[in-house]
Amino acid sequence: MPQARQDLEQFFHPDGVAILGRVDRDADGAALLADYRARYGTDRAYLVNPKGGQVGDVRVYESVVDIAERVGLAIINVGPRFCVDALRECGQKGIPYALIFTAGFSEVGSEGAALERELADVAREHGIRVFGPNTNTNAFELMPEVPGLRGGKIGLLSQSGHNGRPVVQGAQYGVGFSRWVPTGNEVDLEVADFLEYFAYDDDTAVVAGYFEGFKDPAALRRALQAANDQHKPVVALKIGATAAGSRMATSHTGHLTGNDDVVNGLFAQHGVTRVSDLDELLETSALFAKLPRGTGPNVCLYSISGGSGTLMAEIAESAGVVIPTLSADTQAKLHELIPDYLTVANPVDNGGQFLGQPQEQRLRALELLVADPAIDVIVVGITGALGAMTDNFGADLREFATRASKPIIVTWNSPKIDEPGFADVVASGFPMFRSFRNCFAALRDFSRYEERASNFRARPPLEPTVGERDATVDALRTPGVVDATRSRALLEAFGVPVVREDLVTSAPDAAAGGERIGWPVVMKLASSAFPHKSDVGLVALGVADVDAASATYEELTERARSLDSAAPIDGVVVQQQVSEGVEMIVGAIDDEVLGPAVLVGTGGVLTEVLDDATVRPLPLDEGDARDMVHSLRGHALLAGVRGRPAVDVEALVRVILDVARLATAADGRLTELDLNPVIVGITGATVVDWLVVAGEPRP
């Protein structure tokens, strides 16, 4: 398998390492260097401190430039004010990589952020790749070896050093890790770099990440696409779903978390499994690492208690896990081992007493479960620790691990783990969970990943035409709400199907406009001062004739003046009334982290109440647009309900793609675009109302 990131191979396997910072003068210098050589995987290590001197028989260099031999990596652990000079000396020496352990940069405020910018400038000036600052040396930590490891290893990324530790400690539960990379403030090298590295790493089967924010959307997409191409699942605990999480992420490592809906959209495009806590991150990643690729979704539930089986079935069904009925033949053979009054249809209850039978008889029950043609996976639920009973169950699983022809998953729900049965479950190497909730959520996520994997694809950048780009620049040249005339011209330039309308400036013109368009019409005030006109009574529906149009013109303009006497009024829009169809919303935003993104949802005046929308960042393609529509709860309305006809979903898909091209052409100048409602009819779709807000171009 090719290594796409040879530069990071060099980082992880340096040709000589220099340690800059405090020196323990009382240490055994030879032992100290031996420890550094072992930790960083090199045959040469050097101590550097401005005071120079000796540690035993080992020289302490006053500067890295005094070292005659080549140095591939510098470990910098000096005060934050001295890091810039230390990095500059590394550049003078020609050291290609630096790990900056020191904290006190952008995570502490503006002064630290200025120091961090200096670090970045020096790194660029000298061509040094920097890891950190505000990190540690765990990227070089030797991961624990797991005896008899079942499945593959996890590559762990974390933007918090401490929060990576409990995940790595999952090795005690039989989980293997290839490497743990805590990236810190990411002045240069970032999680996307190492995600891409793990995608091509032969020793990594799954990538797990604790993420607080992302820097480079293009690099992140490239890394996720590499993971997709190499069939490496990515499981992510992403901070930023709440305001509190976003605030703390910035104060912790200086990361901006980004709009959470846009993050979810990116994850959906690349099949990333998102979890919400550290235990889920560990257990879900371990399941992905241990379950064979292509494992089917059909699950058999096996326990020693009818109550446990009932609870398992309840939680499994809530998670969407498939629990088929075992065949009549399997049930009959199970009842040769298990009393007739116990259920064996699925869930299977062995009644507990069965675990006192000889082991070969107990193993026969497991053999029958894995042999059933309807079953792909067996989940064994061990709830309470019950001495010999659960010890025997654990011993059976350990013994059966060598002959199981289908995957087995175990839950040990009891907090009491100082049991031989628990040790045997760990030794079996089977995926293990501490709760039914996490177990069945992970199984659901694994099945979803397997379904999505068949459709992983690269998304080419959208390429608006020269005319479309020119129209965008013209419409968005001034920040703020774009007026009706220019916003309409912008939408039309991209082929967005806007409703027929006239802008009129008098009551007689309003009547004439209605005659031209055809009654009934909609009338709405044209003014950038009122972006959401229906909320303040500046929209009138069902205007039926000449007299009504004249009167409505006066009413709308008078109401606008009463709301804001200084508001600029361009006139009143007389618009074709489109009533047949399903109301949807299509929009675009420019996320401060991931850039432009497109939204689609169930629309109309109740958009915020229904809260039924989905987002995808750009670039997106036709498949994304179609997936977005089908993921909505309101998709049932589009398909036709209660005798209503199905509407033209493909027309809605075309509107989404039109908006995606517009957002691409805007190149950061589009703050907000709302097309609401977009009325999707039996044939075609029509945008009835819209709001376009221009912003300052990206720096």
**Domain parsing of the chain, residue ranges:** 6-131, 148-290, 299-448, 463-499+578-699, 507-574
d(CA 239, CA 470): 38
Please return the burial class of 568, using the count of CB atoms within 10 Å of its CB with bins 0-12, 13-18 and 19+: exposed
- Which helix (H) or strand (E) covers residue 442, if one does? helix 436-453
What confidence tens digit (pLDDT) does each residue in 584-618 have?
999 999 998 899 999 999 987 667 767 899 999 99
What confidence tens digit (pLDDT) does each residue in 335-377 have?
999 999 999 999 999 999 999 999 999 999 999 999 999 999 9
Rounded mean pLDDT, 31-58: 95
Assigned token pair, 298: 């059909």
What confidence tens digit (pLDDT) does each residue in 166-180 have?
999 999 999 999 999
Farthest CA pair distance, the chain:
103
What confidence tens digit (pLDDT) does each residue in 218-259 have?
999 999 999 999 999 999 999 876 443 334 333 333 344 458
- Kindly give, in sequence order, each residue whose CB lies less than 8 Å from that of residue 222, ignoring residues fewer than 6 positions away: 192, 196
Instruction: Print the SS3 string covering 42-81.
Output: CCCEEEECCCCCEECCEEEECCHHHCCCCCCEEEEECCHH
Instruction: Print the SS3 string covering 607-646.
Output: HHHHCCEEEEECCCCHHHHHHHHHHCCCHHHHHCCCCCCC
The pLDDT confidence band at residue 84, using thresholds 50, 70 and 90, is very high
What confidence tens digit (pLDDT) does each residue in 470-509 have?
999 999 999 999 988 899 999 999 999 999 999 999 999 9
Please return the burial class of 117, using the count of CB atoms within 10 Å of its CB with bins 0-12, 13-18 and 19+: middle
Of all residues in the chain, what percent carry a pLDDT higher than 70?
Answer: 96
Rounded mean pLDDT, 206-225: 95
Number of Cβ atoms within 10 Å of the Cβ of 437: 15
Of all residues in the chain, what percent carry a pLDDT higher than 90?
Answer: 88
The pLDDT confidence band at residue 534, using thresholds 50, 70 and 90, is confident
Average pLDDT of the chain to the nearest whole number: 93
pLDDT at 121 over 90: yes
DSSP state at residue 325: P
- Kindly give, in sequence order, each residue whose CB lies less than 8 Å from that of residue 28, ignoring residues fewer than 6 positions away: 56
Amino acid at 137: T
pLDDT attached to residue 77: 96
What is the CA 604 to chain-centroid distance, rounded? 29
The pLDDT confidence band at residue 555, using thresholds 50, 70 and 90, is very high
Rounded mean pLDDT, 397-405: 96
pLDDT attached to residue 2: 53
Question: What predicted TM-score, i.e. pTM, was given to this entire model?
Answer: 0.89
The pLDDT confidence band at residue 315, using thresholds 50, 70 and 90, is very high
Preceding omega of 645 cis (within 30 degrees of 0): no
Amino acid at 319: A
Alpha-carbon distance values, 229 to 458, 491, 671 (Å): 9, 36, 33
pLDDT attached to residue 246: 39
Amino acid at 394: G
Identify the CATH assignment for 148-290 out of 3.40.50.720, 3.40.50.261, 3.40.50.300, 3.90.1570.10: 3.40.50.261
Rounded mean pLDDT, 143-153: 94
Query: Is 397 within 8 Å of 433 (Cβ atoms)?
Result: no
What confidence tens digit (pLDDT) does each residue in 257-309 have?
458 999 999 999 999 999 999 999 999 999 999 999 999 999 999 999 999 99
pLDDT attached to residue 605: 66
Coil vs helix vs strand at 273: strand
Go through 305-320 and write b for each residue having 16 or more CB atoms within 10 A of its CB, e for each that does not.
beebbebbbebbeebe
In the sheet where 408-412 sits, what is the strand order?
348-349, 299-303, 377-382, 408-412, 432-433
pLDDT attached to residue 696: 85
pLDDT attached to residue 232: 97
What single string gives the DSSP state of each residue in 179-219?
Answer: EEEE-TT-SSS-HHHHHHHHHT-TT-SEEEEEES--S-HHH
pLDDT at 125 over 80: yes
pLDDT at 457 over 50: yes
Write the class of the CATH domain 463-499+578-699. Answer: alpha beta
Are domains 6-131 and 299-448 of this chain identical in fold? Answer: yes
The pLDDT confidence band at residue 532, using thresholds 50, 70 and 90, is confident
The pLDDT confidence band at residue 643, using thresholds 50, 70 and 90, is confident
pLDDT at 634 over 70: yes
CATH 3.30.1490.20 fits 507-574, yes or no: yes
pLDDT attached to residue 296: 96
Angle CA 362–365–369, to nearest 5: 150
pLDDT attached to residue 255: 42
* Fold for the domain defined by 299-448: Rossmann fold (3.40.50)
Rounded mean pLDDT, 45-64: 95
CATH 3.40.50.1370 fits 6-131, yes or no: no
